[in-house]
Structure 1
Amino acid sequence: MASGGPSPREGRKRKKKSDGSLRGKSGNDESQVQADIDTLTSSGHSALKRGDCAEALICFKKAYKAAVEIKETKVHRACAFNLGAAYVEAGKPQKGLEFLRKAQPGERRERVADLQYNLGVAHEALGDQAQAAGHYLQAAQLYRSQGDGSSEGDTCMKLARCHLRMKDCSHAAQVFQRAAESYRVAGRLDSAAVALKEATTHMLQCDSFSSEDIITMLSECLELSVSITDQHILGKLYNELGLSFSQLKLFAEASECYEQALPLVRPKPRRLAVVLQNLGAVHNTLGQYQQALDFHREAAALHGSQGSRRAQGRCFSNLGFAHSQIGELEEAGESYLHALQAFKDTEDHMGQWQACEGLGEIRLQLRDPDKATVYYKQALGVLSKCKDSDGSVQERLVNRLSEALQLRLSLQQRAPAARRANQDRNFYRQPRRVPDMNGGEPYQGRPLRKNQLNDHKAENGFLVGAAASSSGADGEQRPHGETVMLHTQSNSNPGAPHTQQPDYLSMLPEANRQGHTCGHTHT
């Protein structure tokens, strides 16, 4: 039994007292019972606000039992309503439904909206998203008719998430927009900004909205963000807006959002690592490789200190790409080796073959076809373990392996000629011109070039991206990362720089709104 509740002895005494039947008692006695119900109900609401569901259930149960003994049906409905909502909050939705159904609508319509809301919460907890959505929709309409924009907004957020679970991202995006409008009317501008952010995130996942519509929504969200005072929420918001701008290939705007998020997330090392990783990736995409280096290094160090080995591997791969673009091939190879080990530690097969492909490309640039051949063979071997691999990726790797083998053969064939030339020069003691130590011009391979993000996809509201450190179909090498823009490496143009989503699903609480969870006290 939760602390602060009546002792068992007191409970038994109270029950014995009530067993005397209140039906034959005077009005004064009924008034005393009514006062007891009010006290118990108030105590129950206070317990819920403290998060003490056990104590709340004790209070509401006693209130309900007392209400059964008096003739006032309105009080009985109110107590059933409160007890049902408390059961839902305590994680017992089926039991909660039993009592919520007993709370038939009375003459006060504000209770109808609360009842519909709590019924929605119960069905949602039971996994019946369609039923929950129906109740939430009724509640939202009733709240609007009452001019309660705040409650309407909260209900729309719940409704939108039901649509997401039913894989209807288009409808969910529209409901998020409605939530933003309701919050704006209620003066909750910070909540409106978050709702708009959710809307744009899911607008990007379906074909029902134009880029112009999404950009307009993002701009409105940025305007509303100035009203957010909570730095934790604001930092997450700017990071997610940056991801949305990246999906639209508006990388300059994405960079600005990440820059704004940076000082806000500094107290949170894990979130700071994510924003630094995103900043490095977007600088890679903009071709600002020198500026990107420090972001990659700091992000890799932070991910390592937080035990996020896989994310650390993606940062090392991004770092390798940046080094390769400014001609620092040895440093690039070292970074790719760190990435490869991280992916092996986390059994990330996709990351492994991409790192191997990057290493193969570096070894070709360094005129080392033997090692390049080894890495391309490793990449093909690991690729075969990836379930979602694309035939175009395998074809690209085979082509690069073929080029490495051809280079090795060419060097082997030219080596005897170079040795004979040296022998002739020594024999005649006359200088002979040798084109190259290995008999030819240095192998240039395919130049590492900047790539653009494309083929961005979203999945189930929370998106995890594949890292990329590979060359595309045209030989372009790509950096690595983790992103809300799912960029599978089975695509024909793989390997764009990736950004990462932090470890959270939503900026809004999924639990029942406190005012509606508890319902209203009716006596």
Structure 2
Amino acid sequence: MASLVKDFENRDVPALHCEIWKLAKAGREALGKDNYISALSLFKKAYLISCKLPDGPVQKACLFNLGGGYIAAGKAKKGLKCLTKCKQKAGNGKDPDLYFNIAIAYEGMKEYAKAVRFYGKALSQYKNDQADNIADTFIKMGYCSLNLEDSASASLSFQMAGLSYQQAGRPDDAAMALRESANYMIRNGNFSEVNVHQTLEKSREISKEIVDYRLKASVKRSTPSILSCFTFSFKKGKLLNDLGLHYAELKKFPEASECFAEAMNSCTGKGFSIRNKAVLLQNMGAIYSAIRQYEESLKYHTQAADTYGALGDRKAQGESLGNLAYAYSQLKMCKNAEFYYQEALKAFTDAGDEHRQWQMYEALGATHFSLGNRDQSIFCYKEALAKMEKTMDKSSICRKRITSKLMNVTEYQLAPQPFNARKQSS
């Protein structure tokens, strides 16, 4: 990334220049260790000494470092003030790093439109052989665009970042940037499915070049009704998991399945956590359920439930048990479905998740109805409504749906049943 502070050569000059150089060097080292107080003190001393010299470039470099130090320390306004003075001294000369830092200052002040403008100025001045800086700038610009609720511009910035990272020989960052681009194409809704698919394919293709997998990141866990987050310790595994989720959003289920399977193959070894395996097992099960291959989904949901149970994560285990029950219900194996919905309900009760509890009660209501247990079906639907009342889930659609089911079961139970005559045995 374009550095917040700059170096300048220790030229054969008077003692003041040497003193400034030493202070600047020490300031950069302190900044590298996140020792902001020390770094700012050193940069200030260097700048004050530079003011005694007629050498404009030295003062400019000291102001640049001081501004960068303020920004790194979270004092964006003070940093911008220094950088503005620096820009005045720079005249019309090209200095993309200066524009980059000014953009960071505006970003820190949440003035995202100005930040985007100055990132654009930095991009216009970076040379073609500065692919690293260009890519990092596009990434920063992309996130500023998101803060401006301009997901279309953000996705294009991430795409340009990906191409620049690839040029810079950084396949891991290139693949992640392109995945991010595809993500916001999907969120925007105005990009064609072909464009999104091509971007995902490019990211996946580049991912094959990644050899260093270790990097802490966040991975999403997919179920038919929820996306949630866990820690994933391998960069390639995180990337492939995210790609799988995006393919699933496009209903490209074979590609999604391949990504999840590849993620499991990539994420093995000493540092691979059991939780990550459970996440991927759960996602694989969700994909097979989505394509109605319920027999295949059973083994993945079972393994995921067992793994989460071993970890003591009752909420995540409940989600997998619920998925397992759903798969059994689709296979018309209602007794198995009833058992696992009950187990899921217990897990969500242990976890204190009332939102999931009313969902399990609703599912149990339908399952008991299929089994001919009318009284239990009515009880479960009533419990679902009662649990819903205790949560923030006041959705009129959900309430009407469950109420309608309850009325149907009640009316069915009260309706006169046909009399089947039997012959009297002789």
Flag whether TM exceeds 0.5 (same fold): yes
What's the offset of the Cα at 1:379? 2.2
1: CA distance between counterparts of 2:78 and 2:308? 44
Question: Pairwise mapping of residues 439-478 of structure 1 onto structure 2 (< 5 A)?
Answer: none
Question: Pairwise mapping of residues 4-43 of structure 1 onto structure 2 (< 5 A)?
Answer: 31-43=14-26
Amino acid at match of 1:44: G
Change (3 A) 1:174 1:72: same
1:102 match: secondary structure: helix
Change (3 A) 1:292 1:217: same
2:363 match: secondary structure: helix
Amino acid at match of 2:368: R
What's the offset of the Cα at 1:235? 0.7
TM-score (norm 1): 0.69
What's the offset of the Cα at 1:196? 0.7
Amino acid at match of 1:237: L
Match of 1:120 in 2: 103
Q: Is the 8 A contact 1:44 1:56 kept in 2?
A: yes
What's the offset of the Cα at 1:301? 4.1
Identity level (%): 34
Confirm or deny that 1:354 pairs with 2:359: yes
Q: Is the 8 A contact 1:141 1:152 kept in 2?
A: no
Match of 2:154 in 1: 172
1:230 match: secondary structure: coil
For structure 2, the 5+ residue unaligned runs are 1-11, 214-233
2: CA distance between counterparts of 1:258 and 1:109? 50
The counterpart of 2:368, out of the listed 356, 363, 369, is: 363
1:48 match: secondary structure: helix
Change (3 A) 1:260 1:65: same
Question: Pairwise mapping of residues 409-420 of structure 1 onto structure 2 (< 5 A)?
Answer: 409-410=414-415, 414=417
The counterpart of 2:276, out of the listed 271, 277, 296, is: 271
Q: Is the 8 A contact 2:96 2:123 kept in 1?
A: yes
Q: Which is richer in helix?
A: 2
RCO higher in structure (CA 8 A, sep ≥6): 1
Match of 2:29 in 1: 46
Match of 2:227 in 1: none
What's the offset of the Cα at 1:108? 8.9
The counterpart of 1:261, out of the listed 260, 263, 269, is: 263
The counterpart of 1:339, out of the listed 338, 344, 348, is: 344
Change (3 A) 1:305 1:55: farther
The counterpart of 2:40, out of the listed 57, 62, 66, is: 57
Match of 1:70 in 2: 53
Confirm or deny that 1:152 pairs with 2:134: yes
Amino acid at match of 2:179: K
2:74 match: secondary structure: coil
Over the aligned positions, Cα root-mean-square deviation in angstroms equals 2.8
The counterpart of 1:251, out of the listed 243, 250, 253, is: 253
For structure 1, the 5+ residue unaligned runs are 1-27, 432-523
Change (3 A) 1:162 1:309: farther
2: CA distance between counterparts of 1:302 and 1:61? 56
Match of 1:106 in 2: 90
Between the two proteins, the alignment pairs up a number of residues equal to 392
What's the offset of the Cα at 1:212? 0.9
Q: Which stretch of structure 1 is more off in the superposition, 69-78 or 347-356?
A: 347-356
Match of 1:319 in 2: 324
2: CA distance between counterparts of 1:385 and 1:122? 46
1: CA distance between counterparts of 2:286 and 2:151? 27
Change (3 A) 1:353 1:100: same
Q: Is the 8 A contact 2:20 2:49 kept in 1?
A: yes
Larger radius of gyration: 1
